[in-house]
Amino acid sequence: MTLELRGVTKQVAGQHWIHATDLVLAPGSMNVLLGPTLSGKTTLMRLMAGLDQPTTGHIHWQGQDVTGRRVQDRGVAMVYQQFINYPSMTVYDNIASPLRLQRVARAEIDRRVRETAAMMRLTPMLDRRPLELSGGQQQRTALARALVKGAGLVLLDEPLANLDYKLREELRAEIPRIFEASGAIFVYATTEPEEALLLGGNTATLWQGRVTQFGPTPQVYRRPQDAVTARVFSDPPMNFKPVQVSGGEAVLDGTRWLVDVPDGRYVAGFRAPHLTLDPGAGTVGLSARLDATEITGAETYLHLRHGEDRWVGLVPGVRDLPAGAALTVWLDPAHVYLFDEGGRLARAAPYAQAA
Amino acid sequence: MTTTQASRGSAVVMTLYLLFLLVPIYWLVNMSLKTNAEITGTFSLYPLNPTLNNYRIILTDPSWYMGYVNSLIYVVMNTALSLAVALPAAYAFSRYRFLGDKHLFFWLLTNRMAPPAVFALPFFQLYSAVGLFDTHIAVALAHCLFNVPLAVWILEGFMSGVPREIDETAYIDGYSFPRFFTRIFMPLIASGIGVAAFFCFMFSWVELLLSRTLTSVNAKPIAATMTRTVSASGLDWGVLAAAGVLTILPGALVIWFVRNYIAKGFALGRV
C-alpha cells in the first residue's frame, strides 16, 4: 500500500506545472501538501488520483506501475474544496453510490453506509438531499462518500477551505480520528502552515511546482532545508535579513553573537512570533520603523520596515502603537536560522535543534 | 388617491394589452364554433348557433386528422433525434477544449440563422434522389438542421453550470462515462433538457416550408392540409378555424408543462 512517484513532471502548454518529483508515501501515513495557491498542490494530487497523466515519469501503487490507468480502476477517493455531491440523490444514496458500483451486497452496503454516516455524524440527514444541508454537512457527506469505499489512497484537496471558521475547527479535529480509523494513505493539501502542524504526519512543502522538502511535519517546520521551505512553512512569512559572519560571530545592527558556521555572507531568518517588544535574556535589539499594526483580539501583528526589509512581528496582547514610529524590537539569536547565499540551510535555529 | 389611480391606470393598460393579444385567438375559436353561413353572412361577437360540427369533421375525416398524426410523428422524431445528437455534442463543447471549438460552436449557430427556404431546394433534390421523399424521417432530419444547433446551444449553457468536479468525482467513485452521463449528469440538467425539447418541439411544429416541400401524401403535415380547403367549394371557414384551434393546442400544452423553466431557457441556462 505504498504510493510512489518516480520522476513525475507535468507540463501544460509548454509551462512546467510540476517539476521532476520523486515522492514515496508510506502505507497508512498522513501526508500534507503545503504550499501557496498555484504552487502545484492540486496538480500533484490530480496526478496521484489519475485524473491527469504525467508528462514524464511513473506512478507506482502497491509496487505496480499505474501510470495511464483509468481513474475508475485506481481505487482512490478524493474530496474537493467545493462541496461536491450528487445533488439529485439523497445523502444515503450519495454515500452508497461507490459501493453499488462495486456490486457490494445490499445488506453490506446498508451496514457500511450507516457506519460511515454515524462516524461523520450524518445519521439524521440520510434522507435529505445534499443541497438541503449546511456547508459543513455537505462536506461531511463528500468525506463519507470518499471513506466508505475503503480506498487505499484518500486525497483531500483543501477540504476545509470553503467552510466557516467554526466548522473548520470542528472538522479539522475530526480528520486525524477519521484517518486513524481508515488505515489508508491520506494526502491533504492546504495553504495553511498551522493546519499542517495540527495534522502532523509528513509534510511536503511545494513552491512553484517543486517539492522543496518532504519529511515528518515537525522536522520540516523546525529544520527547513532551505529558505523557500522556511518561507512556505511560516505564517506570517519568515522574516529575512542579510548578515555577515566573521570570526565565528554574526553581526546584525551592530550587535554580535556567536555562530558555528564558516565566515561569509548569510541570510538570517526568523519567524514572526519570535520578535518581541521587550528585551529578554540574551536578546538582540533591532531598530525598525512601524508601518502598521493589526490587532486580532489577543495578539498584535506588527508590520515593520528594517532598512529595505519588510518584517512581520506577532506579539501577545493589544499594543496600540502609532504608525510610522521608530521602535526597537528584540530577537533571541536562539531563534535565528542561517541560510547560505544559495538559500540552503547553514544552521538551524538552536532552539529547534534542542527540540 | 394617486396610487389607486395609478393601479387603475395600469389595470386598464393591462386589460387593453390582453384584449389586443387575445382578439385573433378569440376570433379563431369564435369562428370554429360557427357554421359557414354565419361566418360569411353575419357579424356576431359570439356564435349564435354554437356547433361542434367543424371539429367533428376534422376528428372523423382521415385526410384531416392524419395531418396531425403526421406532424406529431415527425415532430417527436425530430425532438428525440435533436436531443440524442445535441446531448453528447453539448457535453463536448462544455467540457473539452479542442482545435476550433469556438468556431465550430459559432458555425452551428449560423445554421440557425439561415432561412429554411435556402435549404428547401437541396433537401428536396437530395431526398428525392435517395428515396426519402414524403417520409416522416425526411422532415425530422431536415428540421435537425436548425434544431440541433439550438439544442446544443441551450444544453451547453446548462451543462457549463455543472461543476466539472462532479464528473471527476463520479469517475473516481467508479462510474463509467455512459453510466455517469445517464445516472448523474442528465438528472442535473433535466430542466435544460426539458427546455431544449420544448424549443425543438415548437420550432418543428410551426415550421411549414420544409415540411410542405418534402412531403406529398403519406407524411403531409397539418399546416399543409389546412391550405387544401381553399380549393374545394370556396373556403371552408369553420373547419379551417377548428383546425387552427387544434394546431395551437399542442404548443399551449407543452408551454404549460415547461412554464417554470422557460425564462431560464431563453437565457439559455446562462443565468
For the stretch B98-107, contacts whose Cβ atoms lie closer than 8 Å and that sit 24 or more positions apart, written own/partner, are: B105/B152, B105/B156
Structural domain boundaries in chain B: 59-267
- Cα(first)–Cα(last) distance of chain B, in Å? 39
Would you give the distance in Å from CA A273 to the centre of its chain?
19
pTM: 0.80
Structure confidence at residue B263 as a pLDDT band (50, 70, 90): low
The verdict on a CB contact (< 8 Å) between B172 and A82 is no
Kindly report the number of other CB atoms within 10 A of residue B2's CB atom: 6
Instruction: Tell me which chain A residues have a C-beta less than 8 angstroms from the C-beta of B170.
Output: 86
Could you report the per-residue pLDDT of B29-67, keeping only the tens digit for each? 988 898 887 888 888 888 888 888 889 988 888 888 888
Fold classification of B59-267 is MetI-like fold (1.10.3720)
* Cβ-contact B225, B133 below 8 angstroms: no
Instruction: Tell me which chain B residues have a C-beta less than 8 angstroms from the C-beta of A71.
Output: 168, 171-172
Shortest Cα–Cα distance, B101 to chain A (Å): 17
Structure confidence at residue B104 as a pLDDT band (50, 70, 90): confident
User: How high is the pLDDT of residue A58?
Assistant: 92
Residue B232's identity, in one-letter code, is A
C-alpha cell at A228: 523557500
C-alpha cell at A128: 435529505
Tell me which chain A residue has its CA closest to the CA of residue B177: A72
**β-pair partners for A245:** A250, A264
The verdict on a CB contact (< 8 Å) between A98 and B174 is yes
Could you report the per-residue pLDDT of A9-50, keeping only the tens digit for each? 999 888 889 999 999 999 889 999 999 988 999 999 999 999
CA–CA gap between residue B189 and residue A275 (Å, rounded): 56
Could you report the per-residue pLDDT of A269-314, keeping only the tens digit for each? 999 999 888 888 788 888 889 998 898 888 899 999 988 888 999 9
Q: Is the pLDDT of residue A239 over 50?
A: yes
The verdict on a CB contact (< 8 Å) between B174 and A77 is no
- Burial label for B151, CB within 10 Å (0-12, 13-18, 19+), is buried
Q: Is the pLDDT of residue A4 over 70?
A: yes
β-strands A210-216, A326-331 pairing = unpaired
Please name the member of B163, B166, B174 whose beta carbon is closest to the beta carbon of A72: B174
Instruction: Tell me which chain B residues have a C-beta less than 8 angstroms from the C-beta of A141.
Output: none
Could you report the per-residue pLDDT of B133-147, keeping only the tens digit for each? 888 999 999 999 889
Residue A306: φ, ψ to 5°: -120, 100
Tell me which chain B residue has its CA closest to the CA of residue A87: B188
Interface residues of chain A, partner chain B, Cβ below 8 Å: 49, 51, 70-72, 74, 76-78, 80, 82, 84, 86-88, 97-98, 101-102, 142, 145, 149
Specify the DSSP class assigned to residue B48.
Answer: S
CA–CA gap between residue B234 and residue B247 (Å, rounded): 22
Shortest Cα–Cα distance, B158 to chain A (Å): 15
CA–CA gap between residue A57 and residue A18 (Å, rounded): 11
Q: What is the mean pLDDT of residues B81-109?
A: 87
The verdict on a CB contact (< 8 Å) between B173 and A84 is no
Could you report the per-residue pLDDT of A148-169, keeping only the tens digit for each? 988 889 999 998 888 888 888 8
CA–CA gap between residue A85 and residue A96 (Å, rounded): 12
User: How high is the pLDDT of residue A229?
Assistant: 92
Q: Model ipTM?
A: 0.82
Q: Is the pLDDT of residue A147 over 80?
A: yes
Chosen for mutation from A70, A73, A81, A86 (greatest number of chain B CBs closer than 10 Å) is: A86
Q: Is the pLDDT of residue B271 over 50?
A: no
Residue-wise burial string across B112-124, b where 16 or more C-beta atoms lie within 10 A, e elsewhere: eeeebeebbeebb
Angle, CA B80 vertex, CA B78 and CA B81 arms, to 5° = 65
User: How high is the pLDDT of residue A31?
Assistant: 93
**β-pair partners for A12:** A15
Ordered structural domains, chain A, with CATH: 3-229 (3.40.50.300), 237-354 (2.40.50.140)
* Cβ-contact A25, A31 below 8 angstroms: yes
